[in-house]
Structure 1
Amino acid sequence: MRLTNAEPTATPSGGAPIQEAADPPAARAKTPSARPSHWRPDIEGLRALAVGAVIAAHIGFPYAAGGFTGVDVFFVISGFLITSLLLREMDRTGRISIAGFYARRAVRLLPAAAIVLAATLAAAWMWLPRTRLPDIATDAAAAALNVVNIRLAREGTDYLNADAAPSPLQHFWSLAVEEQFYIVWPLLLLAVALLARRIWGGRFANAGHLRRRRTALVAIVLIAVGAGSLYLSATRSDPDPVWSYFGIHTRAWELAAGAGVAVAADRLRRLPAWAAAPLSWAGLGLVVASVLLIDERTTFPGTAAALPVAGTALVIAAGCAPHRFGATALLGIAPAQYVGKISYGLYLWHWPLIMIGPAILGLGEPRLRHYLLLMAAAFILAVVTFHLVENPIRTRRSLVQVPSRALAMGGGLITAALALSILASLQPMPVASNEEAAEITGNDSTVWELLDDSSDVDTVPVNLTPSIEDATLDTPALYEDGCQVDRDDPNVNEDCWYGDPDGEKTVVLFGDSHAAQWFPALNQVAEASGWRLLVMTKSNCSVPEVDTYDPVLEREYTECPEWKDGVFDLLEEVEPDVVVATALDEKEIIADDPAQAWTDGWVASVERLQDTGAEVYYLADSPDVGNNVPDCLGSNPQNASVCVGDLDESVIDPERREATIEAVADAGAEVVDPIPWLCDVEQGTCPVVVGNLLVYRDSNHLTARFVAELIPQLATAIPLEPAQSQ
């Protein structure tokens, strides 16, 4: 996912991300259409391959699951081209113009990026649920400031966001990584140039000697940066996959690999043709292999990224030496050259169209043919953007020759993008009417009384609680208290005590976020009954003794069983009177017979809980209505009934559910089924608005406000003996 395309006019080796060449600005301005002598058609072809691989992976094209490695190809290309430019400037002038460097990047990258940001915000406002607009606006601001990768990493590790759709601006993360690298890299090279001049320079210094010493210093810096980043990539990608995927700390070595080829370019030019040609084919083979062999299950970047990185580096390195019959024979064909030239715009446009295009076309479940149509539109937009925006601006003399003007233009574009982001974030939610629904207080009206009539509600009430905008924030207090343990934390938090602190009896709430959602009701029941409540919940961690795969960590969820063992050890000390255990049924189980493993795992866990002396209540899972409810209501404020879930489809794996209920009941656990509290079992529907209450904060988590109104049902199903009767 790359931010450069290239154009023969003002680019070094085959189209750099910033249209800077070895020729001085004046010379470039005089002959804007002349192709430099160091033009690299193999690099342009690599760009085409990279952007094609990325797009193929994103649209689900067969055998292209590893196409996301095209981003790594772009990183290596960028490291090579930018470093080549900087080294040529050092050789020419003995220094680096930092202002000139950033001015060229501003001219090259920002105009097209600003147009895509503005268009995406407008499309999101028109076609996506209004509830998503504030987050997308924040993404746009982060993209404009080149920190969107950090935002995505933080959001990606937030379990409360697990149900959120990907941002249509998510692909800007790679641009952010590159810009963060180039905040530091030119400054390091400038420091090297000044240090070399001080040590080996002087009136009588030999220019060739100074250049060799300076190059050696650059190589040392590169090795240090690359080795440190590669180490972090190899060691942190497995335990911390989200931050490792989006972070500069695990990606810098890929840019450094390209920079290393640039440093060694003089020596690489001496490669014999008989060696260069097969090396280029070998490199291309590695890049293609990465697309075919790597998939979403691969720990990435990790050491797996070495496949596309090494392949790209080999192609570029081999291309430094003149040879025939190399990979350029394929990469240099005219279609590949043109796609490579517009690859920056193509990369920018493709992802918003994938994310918003189906809504524009009114497609509920788009198929590959629909995505191919959308990619044709992306290609057209990329062509138009290149010829009407990118190329005219980056060859404009007034900007190319005067860095201050280019920087001013860049600052103006960033400011405009930020202003649009703020404007988008302030857009109000659509209001269907001023009608108010019956307020559920637990006194005058109850959930139980209104549930059966709630599936036919058409209008979102103006007094909806929580509001659609605030739905995702309506979570149990234990999240703020740190008692919902994060995925990557295997440690037990022993300080999560609630209820009556002076209570003589103890009830435990045990499970994942679907256990945590019941906290508002169970806590009040415990407090009213004079019981202590110990909360033991962990994100996506199932109660049953099974091995599971975590989609966020992208690996086996080893922290879950480790955490559960700690919980069981703690409960043996606490000796609780009652344990309420529940978990989301939708888990990816690692077993030959997942359904049987799930049921057997529940029985094993129930027996371990019973060994602590506790009476065990198995609280069956709540429904998943299949759509993000706040988003759906925001898009259908006058037709809220379309968001109502079908009971048969909302229950996850009904056969396994029934088998588990029967098995845990046979093991001695009390079974509590919340489906009648949440769904109209006669109509076979699961309402999403009951009275003035919003039932779900996403597709499957209940709002804390709604759960608080289920105290009568929970108190009846799980009776806690009042303190005065003890």
Structure 2
Amino acid sequence: MRLTNAHEPAKTSDDAAARIAPKRDPETAATKRTDQSSSARPSHWRPDIEGLRALAVGVVIAAHIGFPYMAGGFVGVDVFFVISGFLITSLLLREIDTTGTVSIAGFYARRAVRLLPAAATVLVATLVAAWLWLPRTRLGDIAADAAAAALNVINIRLAQEGTDYLNAEVPPSPLQHFWSLAVEEQFYIVWPLVLLAIVFLGAKLGRPGKFTLARHRNRGPGRTAAITAFLVVAGGASFWASAAWTAGDPIWSYFGIHTRAWELAVGALIAVAAGRIRAWVPTWAAAIASWAGLVLIVAAVFVLDEHTVFPGTAAMLPVAGCALAIAAGCVPHRFGAGALLGIRPAQFVGKISYGLYLWHWPLIMIGPAVMGLEQVRLRHYLLLMAVAFLLTIATFYLVENPIRTKRPLVQVPSRALALGGGLITAMLAVSILMVQQPMPAQENDEAAEITGDDSTVWEMIGESSDVESVPANLTPPLDAAGSDEPALYADDCVTSREGTDLAKDCWFGDPDGEKTIVLLGDSHAAQWFPAFNQIAEASGWKLLPLAKAGCSVADVAEHSNQLGRRYTECEEWKEKAFAEIESIEPDVVVASSYDEKEILADDPDQAWADGWAESLNRLDEAADRVYYLADSANPPGDTPACLAEHSDNVTACVVGIAEATTRPERRAAAIEAIEADTDATVVDPIPWMCDMENDTCPVVVGNLLVYRDANHLSPRFVAELTPQVAAAIPLEAQQVDTR
């Protein structure tokens, strides 16, 4: 998100915008600063926009720190998009009116000196802070985020990461807020080129009164019509995409420029029409519109929340509000919202809003670790925001303002571009350096390797809760745990959250087997694949895994936090899975799911229990035997991250069985209903991974890491549990004719 200052730098000889005479520029904003002694303020400076910036950054921060009743503060991003569309287009149109063309090098040079110094400062500082205070297991991902931010593609990276179900429990990146900057930079890359193309085509056509490259101040009606037509078509297509695709693909819709471009286009349209707005709109109407716009923005903050399907059509509320406020400011009027937006505190916050936006999120994400806080209260966040404010002021006066007003950079675009290229290269270099940082060398002793022959998980589970140090031969290593997935994922045999079709060509075990076992459920079912695949191969059975991200087997309606709505894709996929099972009539079905689901029912736990009974009875009609494999133990928090922080105190990551049991009441209700109302066999895996005598769930057993993330067992650990799984769910060996 670009929250750069509303005013231009000090006027220079080659700054097209600064050369416009105030009385002759049709696009000059009517509201001017009363203190004309400040030569740093150009004639088109808009104090109301400065105030809108302050409002926008304020509500964004309020939402991020959990300020009561302001969950919709994320709409501040949309306000910034509209502002950016207006300001950038106004600047480009003034340049066209003055010079007859657009200096692409000059435009990018101005963006470089304004945006990159502060962004580079915050990005490098965040990387260093992450290296010092966050678990080293996260450093690689954060460094990759930094590289993506430097290249202005972090919105694409975040969308890709957000669609990865196994990353759902990972804390947000301290650089996540750079996504909106990336969206704006992508707009900045395209929009000046489009305007230049329109000017060039107009010059080629050479029709009098329509297009010309001659220097003039009055825009030809043909050129204005062409620009307007492009904005209407492109913006309309983007709005349609936002309205049509957000519900089905909320992550890409939230981060993607394809569903955000219309917000920037709205601001650009106001810039194109500013002269007519000033000429046609009465002052009293402008005053009313300014207040109406402000009310719409504030209403969006309090009406919308994290459950709103966004952007979609809901984004119309803050966008319309901002558009009204900006358009109203094109008309000289009294008694409008500008009186409130123009107060000194709002002007100051608006002036430093870019840096404040950059600093606030890393402080929220890393600050609690610096302060040693496990539970963060609102008062702690307010203290961190005070620190962010001080850092912002320092960055503005020591980095941002001195560089963007430095004459050698402002006057010579090549120097500014060289500076920008150097800063991007430096950010990439620091990112690469951080990515290559190894985990701290483990000087601890090696643990006894679990082989399944001389030593087993079952034999060592009782002595593992007292392990003090992370073994040097830990498998998988902590820095590789996050990517240690069951083979199902590499083989594309787990349906994504957005998918509704069954994975194809996903038969495992013995391909020539005459009997079939089906493993059905979500990722907590898929985590058991290594054990069931070994059992199926040894028994001569075919194995068909049917798994979908976040989709339970129980016949219930679920809400997906990632999608922000009812998880209808789960219901559709589940029906196809049941139909497939009914068609193949397997010998055994094993069903399992994560208990942590948001159930859409008045009594979620009872609905969960009844839904499991309903689904297992249906499976029982298609299969000879049905097993309910209850959810595994899940110690709270990311286990590899905890171990990275406590490499010499592993017991800090060990919890009791009750604490490691997800929704114990729901789990107990489901087991009771299944045992009472179905013929399915209940299998409880918790004794396989927890020390029942000492009431603890170890996280390291021998040389094995038990959990690969916050709630999934590591594949190697599951593979070593094969004997326990085979004893609980026996498959008779296929008889082979040796004659």
Note whether the superposition's TM-score is higher than 0.5.
yes
The letter of the residue matching 2:3 is L
Q: Whole-Å Cα distance in 2 between the matches of residues 496 and 466 of structure 1? A: 26
* Distance verdict in 2 for CA 1:263–1:26, change over 3 Å: closer
Task: Please name the residue that 2:392 is paired with.
Answer: 382
Map 1:200-599 → 2, pairs under 5 A: 200=206, 211-270=220-279, 271-599=281-609
How big is the shift at 1:655? 2.1
Q: Whole-Å Cα distance in 2 between the matches of residues 703 and 384 of structure 1? A: 46
How big is the shift at 1:647? 1.1
How big is the shift at 1:304? 0.5
Deviations 1:274-296 (A, max 9, x none): 11000000000110011011111
Task: Please name the residue that 1:64 is paired with.
Answer: 70
The letter of the residue matching 1:694 is L
Deviations 1:175-205 (A, max 9, x none): 0000001111000000111122232456997
Q: Look up the SS of the partner of 1:2 in the other structure.
A: coil
Task: Please name the residue that 1:153 is paired with.
Answer: 159
How big is the shift at 1:522? 0.6
How big is the shift at 1:297? 0.7
Task: Please name the residue that 2:28 is paired with.
Answer: none
Task: Please name the residue that 2:27 is paired with.
Answer: none
How big is the shift at 1:654? 1.5
Q: Whole-Å Cα distance in 2 between the matches of residues 705 and 306 of structure 1? A: 50
CA contact (8 A) 1:103 1:403 kept: yes
CA contact (8 A) 2:246 2:254 kept: yes
Q: Whole-Å Cα distance in 2 between the matches of residues 24 and 421 of structure 1? A: 40
Deviations 1:613-659 (A, max 9, x none): 33110100001100101111111111111111221111112122122
Deviations 1:233-289 (A, max 9, x none): 011111000000000100000000000000000001122111100000000011001
Deviates more, 1:400-409 or 1:422-431: 422-431
CA contact (8 A) 1:57 1:68 kept: yes
Q: Is 1:679 aligned with 2:690?
A: yes
Map 1:178-189 → 2, pairs under 5 A: 178-189=184-195
How big is the shift at 1:221? 0.8
Task: Please name the residue that 2:715 is paired with.
Answer: 704
Q: Look up the SS of the partner of 1:507 in the other structure.
A: strand
Q: Look up the SS of the partner of 1:463 in the other structure.
A: coil
Q: Whole-Å Cα distance in 2 between the matches of residues 253 and 690 of structure 1? A: 54
Deviates more, 1:660-669 or 1:55-64: 660-669
How big is the shift at 1:363? 0.3
Q: Whole-Å Cα distance in 2 between the matches of residues 251 and 21 of structure 1? A: 29
CA contact (8 A) 2:444 2:470 kept: no
Number of residue pairs the alignment of both structures matches: 717
Task: Please name the residue that 1:619 is paired with.
Answer: 629
Q: Look up the SS of the partner of 1:509 in the other structure.
A: strand
Map 1:17-36 → 2, pairs under 5 A: 22-24=17-19, 33-36=39-42
Task: Please name the residue that 1:640 is paired with.
Answer: 650
Deviations 1:439-475 (A, max 9, x none): 0000010001110111111110010001101111211
Q: Whole-Å Cα distance in 2 between the matches of residues 222 and 615 of structure 1? A: 62
Q: Look up the SS of the partner of 2:312 in the other structure.
A: coil
Deviations 1:526-580 (A, max 9, x none): 1101111111010000010000011111111001111111111111110011100
Task: Please name the residue that 2:730 is paired with.
Answer: 719
Q: Percent identity?
A: 67
Q: Whole-Å Cα distance in 2 between the matches of residues 326 and 197 of structure 1? A: 41
Deviations 1:461-490 (A, max 9, x none): 010001101111211111111111101111
CA contact (8 A) 1:104 1:400 kept: yes
Q: Whole-Å Cα distance in 2 between the matches of residues 175 and 676 of structure 1? A: 49
How big is the shift at 1:720? 0.4
Q: Look up the SS of the partner of 2:545 in the other structure.
A: strand
Q: Look up the SS of the partner of 2:399 in the other structure.
A: helix
CA contact (8 A) 2:11 2:18 kept: no
The letter of the residue matching 2:681 is E
Q: Look up the SS of the partner of 1:508 in the other structure.
A: strand
* Distance verdict in 2 for CA 1:208–1:85, change over 3 Å: closer
Q: Look up the SS of the partner of 2:516 in the other structure.
A: strand
Map 1:108-187 → 2, pairs under 5 A: 108-187=114-193
Q: Whole-Å Cα distance in 1 between the matches of residues 702 and 340 of structure 2? A: 65
Q: Whole-Å Cα distance in 1 between the matches of residues 52 and 21 of structure 2? A: 30
The letter of the residue matching 1:703 is S
Q: Look up the SS of the partner of 1:535 in the other structure.
A: strand
How big is the shift at 1:685? 1.0
The letter of the residue matching 1:238 is A
Q: Whole-Å Cα distance in 1 between the matches of residues 122 and 7 of structure 2? A: 20
Task: Please name the residue that 1:652 is paired with.
Answer: 662
CA contact (8 A) 1:4 1:78 kept: no
Task: Please name the residue that 2:613 is paired with.
Answer: 603
Query: Structure 1-normalised TM-score?
Result: 0.96
CA contact (8 A) 1:3 1:174 kept: no
The letter of the residue matching 2:154 is V
Q: Whole-Å Cα distance in 1 between the matches of residues 173 and 16 of structure 2? A: 35
* Distance verdict in 2 for CA 1:540–1:150, change over 3 Å: same
CA contact (8 A) 1:20 1:85 kept: no
Q: Look up the SS of the partner of 1:485 in the other structure.
A: coil
How big is the shift at 1:211? 2.2
How big is the shift at 1:427? 1.0
Q: Whole-Å Cα distance in 2 between the matches of residues 313 and 211 of structure 1? A: 25
* Distance verdict in 2 for CA 1:21–1:33, change over 3 Å: farther
Task: Please name the residue that 2:101 is paired with.
Answer: 95
CA contact (8 A) 1:458 1:639 kept: yes
Q: Whole-Å Cα distance in 1 between the matches of residues 126 and 6 of structure 2? A: 23
CA root-mean-square deviation: 1.9
From 78, 101, 104, the counterpart of 2:84: 78
Q: Whole-Å Cα distance in 2 between the matches of residues 247 and 40 of structure 1? A: 29
CA contact (8 A) 1:196 1:210 kept: no
Q: Whole-Å Cα distance in 2 between the matches of residues 657 and 208 of structure 1? A: 73
How big is the shift at 1:386? 0.7
CA contact (8 A) 1:25 1:401 kept: no
Structure 1: any 5+ residue segments left out of the alignment?
13-18
How big is the shift at 1:2? 3.4
The letter of the residue matching 1:23 is A
Q: Whole-Å Cα distance in 2 between the matches of residues 20 and 176 of structure 1? A: 25
* Distance verdict in 2 for CA 1:26–1:280, change over 3 Å: closer
Task: Please name the residue that 2:33 is paired with.
Answer: none
Task: Please name the residue that 1:191 is paired with.
Answer: 197
Q: Look up the SS of the partner of 1:470 in the other structure.
A: helix
Q: Look up the SS of the partner of 2:170 in the other structure.
A: coil
CA contact (8 A) 1:645 1:687 kept: yes
Q: Look up the SS of the partner of 2:518 in the other structure.
A: strand
Q: Whole-Å Cα distance in 1 between the matches of residues 195 and 736 of structure 2? A: 77
CA contact (8 A) 2:97 2:219 kept: no
